[in-house]
Amino acid sequence: MFNLDSIVRKNIKALVPYASARDEFSGEASVFLDANENALGSPLMKWYNRYPDPMQWKVKEKISFIKKIPNENIFLGNGSDEPIDNLLRCFCEPHQDEIIVMPPTYGMYEVYANIHGAHINYVPMTAEYQIDLEALENAIHPNTKIIWICTPNNPTGNSIDRQSIEMILNNFDGLVVVDEAYINFSRQQSFLSDLSEYPNLIVLQTLSKAWGLAGLRIGMAFASKEIISYMNKVKAPYNISVPIQELALKALDEVGQVNDMIKEIVELREKLVVDLRTVEHVIKINPSDTNFLLVQFKESKRLYDYLLQQGIVVRDRSNVKFCEGNLRITVGNAKENEALLNAIKSFKS
């Protein structure tokens, strides 16, 4: 039986978070003399002399409307990396607790675990890049606090079987983080609608991918209000700046355009798959529910270097275990994809 109180770190449970000046009142005001700001403003941008809303309530209201999730169940961070960092801060006792990752997967789970001194238990995926449930069951220990699942997965691009994730949620007494950074490009159903059913579920999403806002660095975590309250305890007081919040508010009004863009990217992805199948250097194209393809080539390293010479940058994933010989290729616009294909076809093995 999942019990959040039993897995949160004792020092975090007892922590009295820093209360910024803007945390101590609610409502509107016309004169702000509480936060030691420069009342005269900046010579270049006078309107940025005030601290941002530390809880980003206006942004959360729009996300709440779009995602159908209450404000109190939303955490906003500096990219998805901040909630990943915060979860390890809150729930993994250094040099005592462990996490489970299932390679190949997103590398920052491992990086932040190492930063916080959490043990890492590796449970490799199957040859089809799916969860090995039997191996996972055998790997879980009493001090296993978090299982990380990226779906659709990075760098493989495929979606993880939903029933496997549900099996884990129903049988694991720790936290299950489902990272859905690429969910908008997939036909897979998001786990957002399952938050009320699983108190141990945390869903990560982002504005970087489908929304086309990688430069803003806004990541979203959705979970029970109890989990979110602990994450808010350990975050920086003003973790998202005023201009970033302003730009996010404008972007979140453009749901229709975003949906059109997603449709176009998926069409470009499918065309790229068809075109790559005609290339002699290609060994395998992994199924993708993302805006990228993991492609195995005959001479991936030489091809990678050749593409660089042509001014085309892809990601060499050959150094990632279980992805040997693979390049990860982001779906570009029509002109970029054509340039990529012409370059690959001109490569001499």
Domain edges within the chain: 4-252, 256-346
d(CA 325, CA 301): 7
d(CA 269, CA 291): 7
pLDDT of residue 209: 96
CA angle 62-51-19, nearest 5°? 90
pLDDT of residue 17: 87
pLDDT of residue 103: 97
d(CA 214, CA 130): 28
d(CA 318, CA 306): 15
pLDDT of residue 167: 98
> 55-104, pLDDT tens digit by residue?
999 999 999 999 999 999 999 999 999 999 999 999 999 999 999 999 99
pLDDT of residue 175: 98
pLDDT of residue 241: 96
Q: Percent of the chain, pLDDT > 70?
A: 100
- Tokens representing 287? 């199924």
Above 90 in pLDDT, residue 28?
no
Above 80 in pLDDT, residue 301?
yes
CA nearest neighbour of 155 among 341, 284, 321, 267: 321
Above 80 in pLDDT, residue 21?
no
pLDDT of residue 316: 97
- Tokens representing 21? 């000046």
Exposed (0-12), middle (13-18) or buried (19+): which is 40, by Cβ within 10 Å? exposed
pLDDT of residue 30: 82
Query: In this structure, what are the phi and psi dihedrals at residue 205, rounded to the nearest 5 degrees?
Result: -140, 180
Q: Which pTM value belongs to this model?
A: 0.95
pLDDT of residue 34: 85
**Residue 178 belongs to what H/E stretch?**
strand 175-179
pLDDT category at 43 given cuts 50, 70, 90 is: confident
d(CA 82, CA 271): 35
Q: Domain 256-346 falls in which CATH fold? A: Aspartate Aminotransferase, domain 1 (3.90.1150)
**pLDDT, mean of residues 124-130:** 97
Above 80 in pLDDT, residue 46?
no
DSSP letter at 318 equals T
pLDDT of residue 185: 98
More confident residue, 38 or 205: 205
**pLDDT, mean of residues 40-51:** 84
DSSP letter at 52 equals P
> 169-215, pLDDT tens digit by residue?
999 999 999 999 999 999 999 999 999 999 999 999 999 999 999 99
- Is residue 276 within 8 A of residue 235, CB to CB? The reply is no
Mean per-residue pLDDT of the chain: 95
Q: Domain 4-252 falls in which CATH fold? A: Aspartate Aminotransferase; domain 2 (3.40.640)
Above 90 in pLDDT, residue 32?
no
d(CA 281, CA 308): 17
pLDDT of residue 67: 97
pLDDT of residue 19: 82
d(CA 69, CA 60): 9
